[in-house]
Amino acid sequence: MSVSELLNGVVLYIAVIIGLTIVFALATVFFVKSWRRAIELGIEKAKLKKIVKSSIIFTIIPSLAIVIALFSLASVLGVPLSWFRLSVVGSLAYELLAAEMSVSGAGYDSLSQFITTNDIANVTKIMYVMGISIIGGIVFMIFFGKKVQMGMLNYQQTNKEWGTLAMSYFMLCIAVVFLPVEATKSTVHLMTLLTSAAFCYLHIAAIKKYNLKWLNDFVLANCLIIGMVSSVFWEKLLG
Amino acid sequence: MNSKYLDSIHRLGKIGSTFALLAMLGIPTVIAIVYNIMPDFGEIFKISSGLLIVFVPVAVSECISYMPVLGSASYITYITGNVLNLKLPVAINATNVAKTKQGTEENDVIVTLAVAISSMVTMAILAISILLITPLSPVFSLPSVQTATDYILPALFGGMFLPMLLDHTAGDYNVKRKLLPLLIPFVLLILLNSFVFSLDGYEGPALLVTIPVTILLARYFYKKGIIKMKLKEENEL
C-alpha cells in the first residue's frame, strides 16, 4: 500500500466523517443555545434572522477560497485528511506550512517526495505532528478561556469609561498590526487592499446619503468580492 | 452579564474543545491501530517541539487579542478554525449589523450565533465540494480564480478595517482623538516590517506587544485630557 492509497482510503474517510459529524453537531448546539438566549434577552427574531442571513452571505466567498485550499492540499495530503483539517481547527494559511514542516521534520525533502514513497509507517507520525502543532488555541481556551474573558469583562465594568475605551483598542490593534504586513507584501496586495477600502467608503457614503440601511448587511461581503476581483486586474497590470 | 448563561456556554465550549482535541488526535490513532503502524511517540514529540515553538505563541496571542471581539464564541471559533480569514470578520460583521456593543451579553450571543452558523455553512460547502471534486477542480484551477484567492486577506482587510478606523466611538461614548495612541505603534510597525524584518507570520506576538503599548499610550492621553469621552446623545444610542 502506498502513502497516497492510505491517505485516500476508506478507513480514513469513515474516521473523518465521524469526527466532522460531531463538530457539526457541536456548532448546531452553539447556534441553538445562542439563539434561545438571544430570544430570552428580548432580541427580535427578525433581527436574529437578519444576522444569520448576513453571516451566511458573508461566509460563502471565504469558504470558496477554503475549497480552493482544500483542492491544493488534497493533492498532497489526500482528500479526507485535508477536508478534516480545513473544517476543524486548521486554517487556509497554516495547513500547507504545517504539513511541509511536519514532513521535513520527519526527514523528507518535500511533501511531494513523501507522498510518492511507500513509507506508510510515517503517515500517522505526520498526522500526529500536524495535529499537535495546531491545538495551542484550543488547549488555551480549555484552561484559560473563561478566566481571560471574565477578567476583561470585570475590568471593563469596574472602570466604566476608561474600561470601555481600553477594550475598544483591541480591535484597532488588530488593524494596526495586520495592515502594514499585508500592504507591504507587494504592490498588488496594496492596491487590492485600497480598492476594497475605497469601495467600503463608497458603501458607507451611499448608506448615509440615501439612507440605504439594508446595504449594511452586505458591505463586507461586497468589498471582499470587489477586492478579490480587482486583484486579478492589478496582477495583470502590475504583477 | 448573566453568569448562568456564561457558565453554561463556557462548559459547552470546554466539552466541545475536548471533543475536537480527541478527534484531532483520535483519527491518527484509529489509522495506526487499523493498519498496525503505531509510531514512536518520543520521535513525534521531538518533531512537534519545533512546530510548537512557532505555532503556540501565535495561537495564545491570537486567543488573548481576539477575546474582546469573539467573547465566548472563541470556543467554536478555534474548534472550527479559519479564524483570521473567516470567523473574526464574521464576528465583526455581526456586531456591525446588529449594532451591539462589545462587552455586553447581547453582543456575545450575537457573535456566537454568527460564528456557529458560519461554521456550519463552511462545513456544508466543503462537504458538497468533496462530492463535486471532479467537476469543480477545473473551475477552481483557473488562473484568475487562483489569483483572486491569493489576495483574499488584503481584499478582506480593506472592507473590514476601514469602518473601524472611521468609528470614533467606544460603547456608549463618543471619543475625541481616539486614533492618536495608535499612531506611534503604527509607524513603528511599518518601519520594522519594511526595514528590519517581515512580521508576516509573527502577527500574534506583534499583537501581544502592540496592545499593551497602545493601551498605555491611550491611558496617558486619557489622563492628560487629550483623549476626551462624552456620553452619546439619546438619538445616537
Burial class (CB in 10 A: 0-12, 13-18, 19+), B30: middle
Q: How confident is the model at residue A167 (pLDDT cuts 50, 70, 90)?
A: confident
B174 φ/ψ angles, rounded to the nearest 5 degrees: -90, 140
Residue B234 has pLDDT above 70, yes or no: no
**Spatial CA neighbour of B31 closest among A4, A108, A13, A86:** A13
Average pLDDT over every residue of B156-168: 91
From chain B, pick out residues whose CB is under 8 angstroms from the CB of A101: 50-51, 54
- Minimum-distance CB partner of A192 among B47, B151, B218: B151
Residue of A nearest to B162 (CA): A197
pLDDT value for A51: 95
Phi-psi region of B177 (alpha: psi -120 to 50; beta: other; left: phi over 0): left
The pLDDT score that the predictor gives to residue A108 is 81
Count CB neighbours of B128 within 10 A: 12
Radius of gyration over every alpha carbon of chain B, rounded to an integer in angstroms: 22
Burial group, residue B122, by CB count within 10 angstroms (0-12, 13-18, 19+): buried
How many CB atoms sit inside 10 A of residue A17's CB?
15
Residues B125, A167: C-beta atoms closer than 8 Å: no
Indicate whether B236 pLDDT > 70. no
Test A51 with B98 for CB contact under 8 angstroms: yes
What CA–CA distance (Å, rounded) separates A69 from A157?
A: 42
Whether A193 and B227 lie within 8 Å, measured CB to CB? no
**What residues have CB less than 8 Å from B46, skipping those under 6 apart?**
none
Round to whole Å and give the CA distance between A79 and A88.
Answer: 14
Q: In this predicted model, which residue has the larger pLDDT, A196 or B49?
A: A196
Confidence of residue A231 (pLDDT cuts 50, 70, 90): very high
- Nearest-Cα distance to chain A for B155, in Å, is 4
Q: Kindly indicate the confidence band of residue A71, based on its pLDDT and cuts at 50, 70 and 90.
A: confident
CB contacts under 8 A, B 75-94 vs A, are 75-76, 78-86, 88-90, 92-94
- pLDDT above 60 (res B237): no
Least confident of A67-71, A235-239, B46-50, B150-154: B46-50
Q: What is the DSSP letter of B144?
A: H
Distance from B144 to chain A by nearest Cα, in Å?
Answer: 6
Give the pLDDT of residue A92. Answer: 66
Predicted local confidence at residue A102, as pLDDT: 77
B10 band by pLDDT with thresholds 50, 70 and 90: very high
Which residues of chain B does A98 touch, with a Cβ-Cβ cutoff of 8 Å? 51, 55
State the smallest CA–CA distance between residue B109 and chain A in angstroms.
Answer: 5
At A199, which helix (H) or strand (E)?
A: helix A187-210
End-to-end CA distance of chain A: 43
Contact A62 B219 (CB under 8 A): no
Confidence (pLDDT) at A214: 84
- Chain A to chain B Cβ contacts (< 8 Å): 524
What is the DSSP code string of B89-102? HHHHHHHHHHT--T
User: How far is residue B68's CA from residue A154's CA, in Å, rounded to a whole number?
Assistant: 12
Q: State mean pLDDT over A136-152.
A: 93
Q: Give which of B47, B104, B112, B199 to mutate to test A binding, by max A Cβ within 10 Å.
A: B47
Give the integer Cα–Cα distance in Å for A92 and A109: 22
What residue has cell string 495583470?
Answer: A236
C-alpha cell at B36: 498496525
Which residues in chain B touch residue A161, judged by CB atoms under 8 angstroms apart? 173, 229
Q: What is the mean pLDDT of residues A146-172?
A: 89
- The pLDDT of residue A226 is above 60: yes
C-alpha pair distances (Å), B43 with each of A96, A106, A107, B35, B46: 21, 9, 12, 19, 5
CA distance B102 to B69: 7
Chain B closest-CA separation from residue A4 CA (Å): 14
How many residues belong to chain A? 239
Confidence (pLDDT) at A131: 87
Contact A80, A6 (CB under 8 A): no
Q: Which residue type is seen at A162? A: W
In this structure, of B68-72, B197-201, B231-235, the range with the lowest mean pLDDT score is: B231-235
Structure pTM? 0.86
R_g of chain A computed on alpha carbons: 22
